[in-house]
Amino acid sequence: MQCSPEPRPEEAVLHPPATNMQADTVLEFEALRTLLARYVRSSLGRAELAKVEPTSDRATIENELADTQESVAFVRTSSQPQPASRGAAIRVRFDDLAELGPTLAQLRIEGATLDGAEIYELSRLLDLAAAARSVLLSAAEKFPRLAAHAVKIADLRDLVNDLRGKILPDGTLADDASVALARLRRDCEKQRRLIQESLERFLRAHHENGTLQEDFVTIRNDRFVVPVVTGRERRVDGVIHGASGSGHTLFVEPLETINLNNELVRLHEEELREVHRLLREFTARLREHAVEIAATATALAKLELLFAKADFAVDFNCIVPRLSPDTARKLILSRARHPLLEDILRAKRKSVVPVSLSLDSSERTLLISGPNTGGKTVALKTVGLLALMTHAGLPVPALEAEFPLFDQVLADIGDHQSIQESLSSFSSHILSIGKMLDDVTSDSLVLVDELGRATDPEEGGALGVAVLEAFQNAGAFTLASTHLMAMKVYGASTKGVRNGSMGFDDTTLEPTYELRLGAPGKSAGLDIASRLGLDPHLISTARARMTNVERDVSRFLAELHDRIDVLERERTDLTVRAAAIEAKEKSLEQTWEKQYSAKIRELEQRASQLTAQFEQRAQETIGELSQKAHVKVAKAKREFKEAVEALAPPSPSAPPRSKIEPGARVRLKGIRQPASVRRLLPGDILEVDAGFLKMQVSLSDVEEVLAPAAGGGFQQDRPARSVTFHQGPSFNDGYREINIIGQRAEAACEHVDKMLDSAALAQVERVRIVHGHGMGILKKAIADLLKHNPHVEKFYVASQEEGGSGATIVELK
Distance, in Å, from the CA atom of 775 to the CA atom of 267, rounded to the nearest integer, reads: 101
Distance, in Å, from the CA atom of 500 to the CA atom of 492, rounded to the nearest integer, reads: 10
- With a CB cutoff of 8 Å and minimum separation 6, the contacts of 145 are 66, 67, 70
SS3 call for 770: strand
Count other C-beta atoms under 10 Å from residue 812's C-beta.
19
> How high is the pLDDT of residue 295?
93
Highest average pLDDT, of 6-10, 452-456, 483-487, 652-656, comes from 483-487
Mean pLDDT, to the nearest integer, of 356-370?
91
Q: 612: burial class by Cβ within 10 Å (0-12, 13-18, 19+)? A: exposed
Confidence (pTM) = 0.61
> How high is the pLDDT of residue 38?
94
Residue 18 has pLDDT above 90, yes or no: no
Q: With pLDDT > 70 as the criterion, what percentage of the chain qualifies?
A: 78
CA distances from 487 to 482, 492, 518, 654, 703 (A): 7, 9, 14, 141, 137
> How high is the pLDDT of residue 470?
93
Residue 562 has pLDDT above 80, yes or no: no
DSSP class per residue in 462-511: HHHHHHHHHHHHTT-EEEEE---HHHHHHHHHSTTEEEEEEEEETTTTEE
Query: Given pLDDT bands bounded at 50, 70 and 90, which one contains residue 506?
Result: low
> How high is the pLDDT of residue 774?
75
Q: What is the layout of strands, in order, in the sheet containing 223-229?
A: 218-220, 223-229, 249-254, 238-243
Query: Given pLDDT bands bounded at 50, 70 and 90, which one contains residue 81?
Result: low
Between 536 and 152, whose confidence is greater? Answer: 152
H or E segment to which residue 458 belongs: helix 457-473
> How high is the pLDDT of residue 59?
94
Residue 729 has pLDDT above 60, yes or no: no
Residue 659 has pLDDT above 80, yes or no: no
> How high is the pLDDT of residue 19?
31
Distance, in Å, from the CA atom of 275 to the CA atom of 289, rounded to the nearest integer, reads: 22
Q: What is the pLDDT of residues 751-794, one digit of tens each?
A: 898 888 888 887 778 888 988 877 778 888 898 899 888 889 89
Mean pLDDT, to the nearest integer, of 309-327?
95
Residue 544 has pLDDT above 70, yes or no: no
Least confident of 110-119, 396-405, 666-675: 666-675
Least confident of 5-19, 150-164, 371-385: 5-19
Between 548 and 568, whose confidence is greater? Answer: 568
Mean pLDDT of the chain: 80
User: 52: closest CA among 335, 366, 283, 306?
Assistant: 306
Least confident of 42-56, 273-287, 459-473, 691-705: 691-705
Query: Given pLDDT bands bounded at 50, 70 and 90, which one contains residue 621?
Result: confident
Query: Given pLDDT bands bounded at 50, 70 and 90, which one contains residue 319?
Result: very high
Count other C-beta atoms under 10 Å from residue 148's C-beta.
14
Residue 658 has pLDDT above 80, yes or no: no
Least confident of 473-482, 587-596, 730-739: 730-739
Count other C-beta atoms under 10 Å from residue 528's C-beta.
18
> How high is the pLDDT of residue 187?
93
> How high is the pLDDT of residue 637?
66
- Beta bridge mates, 499: 367
The residue count of the chain comes to: 813
Distance, in Å, from the CA atom of 393 to the CA atom of 14, rounded to the nearest integer, reads: 13
Residue 716 has pLDDT above 60, yes or no: no
SS3 call for 31: helix
Asked if 412 and 468 count as a contact pair (C-beta separation under 8 A), the reply is no
Query: Given pLDDT bands bounded at 50, 70 and 90, which one contains residue 419?
Result: very low
SS3 call for 71: helix
Distance, in Å, from the CA atom of 807 to the CA atom of 470, rounded to the nearest integer, reads: 96
H or E segment to which residue 77 belongs: helix 58-78
Between 95 and 356, whose confidence is greater? Answer: 356
Mean pLDDT, to the nearest integer, of 680-684?
80
> How high is the pLDDT of residue 487?
84
Count other C-beta atoms under 10 Å from residue 153's C-beta.
25
444: region left, alpha or beta (phi > 0 left; psi from -120 to 50 alpha): beta
Helix, strand, coil abundance in the chain, percent, nearest 5:
50, 15, 35
Least confident of 352-361, 509-518, 605-614, 726-735: 726-735
> How high is the pLDDT of residue 29?
93
Distance, in Å, from the CA atom of 94 to the CA atom of 104, rounded to the nearest integer, reads: 19
Distance, in Å, from the CA atom of 359 to the CA atom of 406, rounded to the nearest integer, reads: 14
User: How many helical (H) and strand (E) elements, i.e. helices and strands, does the chain have?
Assistant: 21, 23
Count other C-beta atoms under 10 Å from residue 177's C-beta.
23
Query: Given pLDDT bands bounded at 50, 70 and 90, which one contains residue 542?
Result: low
Strand (E) positions, 126-172? none
DSSP 8-state code for residue 173: B
User: At what angle are helices 290-315 and 255-287 packed, to 10 degrees?
Assistant: 80
Q: What is the layout of strands, in order, in the sheet containing 665-668?
A: 693-698, 685-690, 675-681, 665-668, 702-706
Asked if 68 and 55 count as a contact pair (C-beta separation under 8 A), the reply is no
- With a CB cutoff of 8 Å and minimum separation 6, the contacts of 352 are 337, 338, 341, 342, 345
Q: What is the pLDDT of residues 578-601, one digit of tens each?
A: 888 888 888 887 888 788 888 888
Q: What is the pLDDT of residues 213-272, one digit of tens each?
A: 676 777 777 788 888 877 766 677 778 777 887 777 888 888 778 888 888 889 999 999
Angle at 469 between CA 468 and CA 472, to 5 degrees: 85
Buried b (16+ CB within 10 A) or exposed e, 344-361: eeeeeeeebbbbbbebee
> How high is the pLDDT of residue 523?
62
